Amino acid sequence: MMWGKKEKLKLVIIGHVDHGKSTLIGRLLLDTNSLPKEKLEELKKISEELGKETELAYLSDQLKEEREQNKTIDTTQLFFKSKKREYIIIDAPGHAEFIKNMLTGASLAQAAVLIVDTKEGIMEQTRRHAYLIKMLGVENIIVVFNKMDLVNYSVKRFEEIKKEFLSFLGNLHIKPLFIIPVSARTGLNISKRSSLAPWYKGPFLLQALDSLTVRKNKKDNPLRFCVQDIYRNNDGEIIVGKVISGILKQGEEALLMPLYGKIKIKSIKIFPKNVKQASEGENIGLIIDGAAKIARGDIIVQKKNPPQALNSFEGNIFWMSEEPLVANTAVTVRCSTQESNCIVEKIQKRVNSSTLETIEENGREVRMNEAAVVTFKTEKPMVIEKLSCTEELGRFTLERGRNPQGIGIIT
């Protein structure tokens, strides 16, 4: 199986426990011929021993276990491919793990499949995962109502649960691109149509996935370069980091934030070569002219219309620690490579992340699995922007003792 030549799309498959995520992943791997030969042979053996109902979930879980134990599968994610593109499935077994994986730059999902058991219905974790994918800025969302075989492929049940879920998603301002009735166990509407549900006229899941548009880098986006580290060699200081927005050009004059220091880009390295420019998504090294002292967490921006460096900001947060977030206490906020101690200045509103109901205005604390609107005051200025402007500067984590406790987006 050859990888690396097609367009790639990072995909997260989420939903309530036991709603069929592992079976769906197994079906996608099987139907797209994306299994290593030895795994396909093992699958046939498992089928004989355990029966077809459990084979696909067992396959997905076995691949996951091998990844965790560094055995035969030399990858950190699961892969499958269609004729159009390659897909990377970001593993997200539970909401806490989902958040941590989604916040890792290399694992930022470009699309989400939200799975719901058609028979059991919409559960608390289903709603919470929908809230989180909205909060984390995932726009390409597909809803699949799984286990249609358990409701005899009933169009009445499908329309009933679809209406209920769309009502909830509407409150989150989420409009799924597709809503598809499937059975991961039998293969209904995964990689092909089936006569078992002739009333469904939309695309099957692989068709829907292939129709998604991968966001392209926009050359006219404002320049944002996040400094990750500084190295020294015979050339002097090499500033290493990532272009998270726009284009950086050799010879360009720029600003070093948050102190607004003036600099000039002397040379750009995409190791081991020197290049004239670098664009969004590229990890590069820079040599600059200028008197400004540079440190990890600094942001290089264009001189025209630079962002603000702020000591106070408001964010929508999701709290995932058993120890509550308490007003007027200290936490560490991390935004891209920036880091600062901060005070929880005001908890404006606590929200039930499953029902979206307001629990309390002007709250004293935010408890585990709750959402909230919070005002933070930082010890040092930070470059932050709305999520819609620059994703990596519009998303932050809240930590205690280097342990992520919550996530948020800038409002």
Burial of 17 (0-12, 13-18, 19+ CB in 10 A): exposed
Q: How confident is the model at residue 229 (pLDDT cuts 50, 70, 90)?
A: very high
Evaluate whether 221 touches 246 at the Cβ level (below 8 Å): yes
Q: Quote the strand ranges of 222-298, DSSP E.
A: 224-233, 236-245, 247-249, 253-257, 261-270, 273-275, 277-279, 283-289
pLDDT at position 100, please? 67
Q: Which domains does the chain have, with CATH numbers?
A: 7-211 (3.40.50.300), 224-302 (2.40.30.10), 309-410 (2.40.30.10)
Residue 233, classed as helix, strand or coil, is strand
- CB atoms near residue 330 (< 10 Å): 11
Q: Is the predicted pLDDT of residue 359 greater than 90, yes or no?
A: yes
When pLDDT is averaged across residues 390-395 and rounded to a whole number, the result is 89
Higher per-residue confidence, 232 vs 323: 323
Span 183-202, pLDDT tens digits: 998 999 999 988 899 999 99
DSSP per-residue string spanning 49-86: HH-HHHHHHHHHHHHHHHHHTT-S---SSEEEE-SSEE
When pLDDT is averaged across residues 365-391 and rounded to a whole number, the result is 93
**CA gap 240, 243 in Å, rounded:** 10
**CA gap 307, 193 in Å, rounded:** 50
Alpha helices, H only, 103-154: 124-135
- Average pLDDT along the chain: 86
Evaluate whether 407 touches 396 at the Cβ level (below 8 Å): yes
Residue tagged 């948020």 (tokens): 408
pLDDT at position 57, please? 61
> 333: which strand partners?
340, 398
**CA gap 127, 40 in Å, rounded:** 35
Per-residue tokens: 21: 């995520």
Interior/surface letters 147-169, b for 16+ CB within 10 angstroms, e for the rest: bbbebebbeebbeebbeebeebb
Span 3-45, pLDDT tens digits: 456 788 989 888 888 888 888 988 898 889 887 777 667 666 7
Span 235-263, pLDDT tens digits: 678 999 999 999 999 999 999 999 889 99
φ/ψ of residue 59, rounded to 5? -60, -50
Span 343-353, pLDDT tens digits: 999 999 999 98
**CA gap 311, 380 in Å, rounded:** 6
pLDDT at position 26, please? 84
Question: In 3D, which of 103, 105, 125 has the Cα closest to residue 114?
Answer: 125
Evaluate whether 286 touches 267 at the Cβ level (below 8 Å): yes
Q: Is the predicted pLDDT of residue 168 greater than 50, yes or no?
A: yes
Q: How confident is the model at residue 56 (pLDDT cuts 50, 70, 90)?
A: low
Q: What pairing do the DSSP bridges indicate for beta strands 395-400 and 140-146?
A: unpaired
pLDDT at position 380, please? 94
Span 69-117, pLDDT tens digits: 433 333 346 788 898 999 988 866 666 667 766 665 545 788 999 999 9
Span 284-318, pLDDT tens digits: 999 998 877 899 999 999 998 899 999 999 999 99
Question: In 3D, which of 195, 194, 216, 192 has the Cα closest to residue 206?
Answer: 192
Residues above pLDDT 70, as percent of the chain? 84
**CA gap 307, 314 in Å, rounded:** 16
DSSP per-residue string spanning 149-217: GGGTT-HHHHHHHHHHHHHHHHHTT---SEEEE-BTTTTBTTSS--TT-TT--S--HHHHHHHPPPPPP
pLDDT at position 209, please? 97
pLDDT at position 68, please? 47
Evaluate whether 347 touches 363 at the Cβ level (below 8 Å): yes
**CA gap 62, 36 in Å, rounded:** 13
Q: How confident is the model at residue 220 (pLDDT cuts 50, 70, 90)?
A: confident
Q: What does the radius of gyration of the chain's CA atoms come to, in whole angstroms?
A: 23
- CB atoms near residue 373 (< 10 Å): 20
Residue 219, classed as helix, strand or coil, is coil
When pLDDT is averaged across residues 262-281 and rounded to a whole number, the result is 90
* DSSP assignment letter at 126: H
Higher per-residue confidence, 379 vs 291: 379
pLDDT at position 71, please? 34
Question: In 3D, which of 369, 363, 261, 243 has the Cα closest to residue 309?
Answer: 261
Sequence-distant (6+) residues with CB within 8 A of 316 are 135, 371, 372, 373, 408, 409, 411
Higher per-residue confidence, 46 vs 195: 195
pLDDT at position 72, please? 30
Q: Is the predicted pLDDT of residue 179 greater than 90, yes or no?
A: yes
Q: Is the predicted pLDDT of residue 379 greater than 90, yes or no?
A: yes
